[in-house]
Amino acid sequence: MSMKKIIIILLLGFSLFIPTIGFAQEKNQIVYFYSETCLNCAQEKVFLDELVQKYPQIEIIKYEYSQSETQKALEDFYQKYQVPQAMRGIVPITFIGNRFFFGFDNKETTGKEIEDYIISGAEDKNSQFSLGKNKLPIIGEVDLSKFSLPALAVILGFFDGFNVCSLGALVLILGIVLAFRSRTKTLILGIVFILTTAIIYGLLIFLWHSLFSFFSIYIRKMELVIGVLSIVAGIYFFREFLKFRKNNTACEFGGISQKLSYKLQKVFTTQKGILALIGAVFIFAIAITVVEFPCSAALPVLFAGVLTNTNLPLSSTLAYLGIFLFFYMLDEIIVFLVAFTTMRIWVASPKFITWLNLLAAVLLLLLGSYYIIGLV
């Protein structure tokens, strides 16, 4: 199959995801803090369940007040929405768009006030809570209710996975290991490298998420930050496309990375014990991931910003981070499995990676345009 046909298939496939790559979770979410022993909370729960049936675009995020992780989330919402001290510590309290609703009488009073606000927000294109449709360049009108964080995690993780520096490090290790002609060593050392890389990369992304979370209470327009990061990432991938197309080369180790690779090769040629090899691969994976992270930080930092914008519980944040990391490591997992089963190394052609960078640039520029235009 020719390269042009591969690119056409990829474009058609990813075009199916275009309505879902934007992210408007904050605009479609109702965040609701309640207590199991609160009668008013029980009444609001019934009302919110009915509201979801009426407006399927809405997602209800519920926090049970007595849980320890809820307190941190609630404090963040207090700060963000500037809730008066007298209202703090009492439930139910509901956060929608740029407003909060304290207490709940019944569906005819408080419930009607909540629903009226949702409807007015859907009709106001400048509202932070919108159920309507927006226009994007080239794509046209898209329905925000179809936007999906899982799809965004898959797509950003997939494109970030073609980080040729990390892939090059794995190929370097496999190339040395295959000289031993040992499937056992290939299996063990490959798994050590992949798991170590994924864990360290995940910790770096979570660190950025924590920084964004800390500063988010001071940033009223987090969507603007995400939009700018998307544009920066798009420009980065377009520059990579131009560089790869001109030189037809992938990442070349240099500086610290080159020194690390030389030391790794020296260890592999002088040490035969499996524990020494595991230790060398472990240290090499950590060092390469940390050293090369600034060179390809556009997508992981962008995803960290998106996660911050969701105000999701820690467990959900980690789950989405796990999805991102799986698709980030997918190409390396495939290369590793091929090497393990065939005792040969297979990687995608430079042309494939070159045009994939162009596709990533186009999608990221569209995503950034959506966020920035949505604030106009």
To the question of pTM greater than 0.75 for the whole model, the response is no
Q: What is the mean pLDDT of residues 35-47?
A: 89
Candidates 51, 62, 71, 233; CA nearest to 159 is: 233
Residue 291's CB: how many other CB atoms inside 10 A? Answer: 15
Residue with structure tokens 């106009």? 376
Lowest mean pLDDT among 38-47, 54-63, 164-173: 164-173
The residues with which 64 forms a beta bridge, in sequence order, are 34
**CA angle centred on 85, ends 84 and 87, rounded to 5°:** 70
| DSSP H or E run through 157 | helix 149-161
| DSSP H or E run through 314 | helix 314-342
Is it the case that residue 29 has pLDDT exceeding 80?
A: yes
Q: What is the mean pLDDT of residues 123-151?
A: 51
**320 vs 268, more confident:** 320
Q: What is the mean pLDDT of residues 179-208?
A: 87
- What pLDDT, on the 0 to 100 scale, is given for residue 25? 39
**165 vs 188, more confident:** 188
Candidates 37, 131, 73, 79; CA nearest to 313 is: 73
pLDDT bucket at 256, cuts 50 / 70 / 90: low
Is it the case that residue 142 has pLDDT exceeding 50?
A: no
Residue 310's CB: how many other CB atoms inside 10 A? Answer: 17
Q: What is the mean pLDDT of residues 68-73?
A: 84
- What pLDDT, on the 0 to 100 scale, is given for residue 101? 92
Lowest mean pLDDT among 46-55, 125-134, 255-264, 307-316: 125-134
pLDDT bucket at 21, cuts 50 / 70 / 90: very low
Is it the case that residue 196 has pLDDT exceeding 90?
A: yes
Residue 319's CB: how many other CB atoms inside 10 A? Answer: 14
Lowest mean pLDDT among 93-102, 217-226, 307-316, 357-366: 217-226
**261 vs 318, more confident:** 318
Candidates 311, 97, 308, 318; CA nearest to 213 is: 308
DSSP letter (8 states) at residue 140 = E
Q: What is the mean pLDDT of residues 118-125?
A: 63
Instruction: Kindly report the length of the chain.
Output: 376
Is it the case that residue 370 has pLDDT exceeding 60?
A: yes
- What pLDDT, on the 0 to 100 scale, is given for residue 136? 40
Q: What is the mean pLDDT of residues 80-89?
A: 84
Q: Provide the residue type at 181 as one letter.
A: R
Mean pLDDT of the chain: 74
Q: Are 235 and 227 in contact (CB under 8 A)?
A: no
User: 32-46, 178-192, 226-240, 307-321 — which one is most confidently predicted on average?
Assistant: 32-46
Token pair in block for residue 25 = 């979770």
Is it the case that residue 50 has pLDDT exceeding 80?
A: yes
Interatomic CA distance for residues 57 and 250, integer angstroms? 43
- What pLDDT, on the 0 to 100 scale, is given for residue 284? 84
Looking at the structure, give the CATH architecture of the domain made up of residues 27-129: 3-Layer(aba) Sandwich (3.40)
Interatomic CA distance for residues 252 and 269, integer angstroms? 22
* pLDDT-above-90 percentage for the chain: 10
Q: How far apart are the first and last CA of the chain?
A: 44
Interatomic CA distance for residues 290 and 200, integer angstroms? 8
Q: Where are the domains of the chain?
A: 27-129, 147-374
The residues with which 328 forms a beta bridge, in sequence order, are none
Q: pLDDT digits over 268-292, tens only?
A: 767 667 888 888 888 888 887 887 7
